[in-house]
């Protein structure tokens, strides 16, 4: 059962909406996600790894299902599970002749199968499982905010690496020739993207989390002249869609994750139609 808001349009003012504790938690979590997805999303888009976001989201399903089976907090199980899948995908890409999308597809299917198996062993499909599949603004907890804060801190520590990541994104072979540790960076980026996917689950759900990682960056790509501008644009698109999406969700009784992603898609459509592609 989807958990959505039950407030008629026009009853609550903007100030009243943001005075509610669960809305404040949702806003903080959403803005944290906008920063994280805006930072990593351009790397995913420019490297042609958009399918990786979807694959990791479904990999997280296996971790969430295992957590539900064991009776522990699902996200704490999903963190190492999804990071392990990300490392596995990167290893297969680097050590075999299998294409990246094929490697993602293999781990995608494996993780989904494990998740279905774990849920069948639990012998019941609880509302909590649907919360992780579809997302619920009411499910954002202080622990989720702490997880977002820790990941933001880890991301801040990677700022000195941003330049070489961007270098390898646009010319991997030249970066490797200049002794940039591109393979190590591939593993590090894969793990961090996996952690972003897990953090975003409560806000938009497993089924839509990949969109949060890809659409803002793709929209910003339409008008950005530089890679750094693309990052800033992706953060802005993500932040605006979170604020507007949460308000629309509260006012019109809409699923929060779907409202946010649909606004992102609208921004992308407008950008594609009216902005000069660089």
90-120 pLDDT tens trace: 888 878 777 777 888 888 888 889 988 888 8
194-240 pLDDT tens trace: 999 988 887 778 878 888 889 999 999 998 889 999 999 999 999 99
119-153 pLDDT tens trace: 888 766 566 777 777 777 667 888 888 888 999 99
Total domain count, the chain: 1
Asked, for residue 3, whether it belongs to a domain, the answer is: no
Asked, for residue 38, whether it belongs to a domain, the answer is: yes
* pLDDT above 60 (res 277): no
Asked, for residue 166, whether it belongs to a domain, the answer is: yes
Asked, for residue 156, whether it belongs to a domain, the answer is: yes
Asked, for residue 5, whether it belongs to a domain, the answer is: no
To the nearest whole number, what is the mean pLDDT of the chain?
A: 84
- Rg (alpha carbons) of the chain, rounded to whole number: 19
- Assign residue 101 the CATH number of its domain: 1.10.3470.10
Nearest one of 171, 152, 179, 210 to 36, comparing CA atoms: 152
Range of the domain at 263: 14-273
Instruction: Compute the distance between CA of residue 175 and CA of residue 188 in angstroms, rounded to an integer.
Output: 16
Asked, for residue 74, whether it belongs to a domain, the answer is: yes
Nearest one of 192, 186, 188 to 152, comparing CA atoms: 192
Query: pTM for the complete prediction?
Result: 0.86
Asked, for residue 111, whether it belongs to a domain, the answer is: yes
238-261 pLDDT tens trace: 999 999 988 888 888 888 888 889
Instruction: Compute the distance between CA of residue 23 and CA of residue 6 in angstroms, rounded to an integer.
Output: 13
């Amino acid at each position: 059962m989807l958990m959505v808001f039950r407030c008629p349009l026009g009853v609550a003012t903007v100030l009243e909406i943001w005075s509610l504790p669960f809305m404040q938690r949702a806003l903080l979590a959403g803005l944290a996600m906008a920063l994280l997805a805006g930072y990593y999303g351009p790397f995913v888009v420019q490297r042609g790894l958009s399918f990786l976001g979807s694959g990791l989201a479904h990999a997280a399903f296996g971790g969430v299902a295992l957590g539900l089976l064991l009776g522990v907090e699902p996200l704490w199980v999903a963190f190492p599970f999804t990071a392990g899948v990300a490392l596995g995908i990167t290893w297969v890409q680097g050590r075999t002749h299998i294409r990246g999308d094929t490697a993602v597809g293999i781990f995608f299917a494996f993780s989904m199968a494990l998740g279905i198996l774990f849920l069948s062993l639990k012998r019941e499909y609880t509302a909590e499982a649907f919360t992780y599949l579809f997302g619920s603004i009411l499910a954002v907890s202080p622990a989720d905010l702490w997880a977002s804060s820790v990941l933001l801190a880890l991301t801040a520590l990677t700022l000195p690496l941003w330049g070489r990541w961007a270098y390898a994104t646009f010319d991997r072979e030249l970066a490797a020739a200049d002794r940039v540790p591109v393979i190590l960076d591939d593993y590090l980026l894969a793990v961090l993207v996996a952690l972003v996917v897990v953090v975003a689950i409560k806000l938009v759900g497993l089924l839509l989390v990949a969109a949060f990682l890809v659409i803002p960056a793709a929209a910003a790509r339409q008008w950005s002249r530089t890679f750094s501008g693309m990052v800033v644009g992706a953060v802005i698109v993500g932040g605006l869609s979170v604020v507007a999406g949460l308000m629309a969700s509260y006012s019109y009784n809409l699923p929060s994750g779907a409202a946010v992603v649909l606004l992102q898609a609208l921004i992308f459509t407008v950008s594609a139609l009216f902005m000069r592609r660089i």
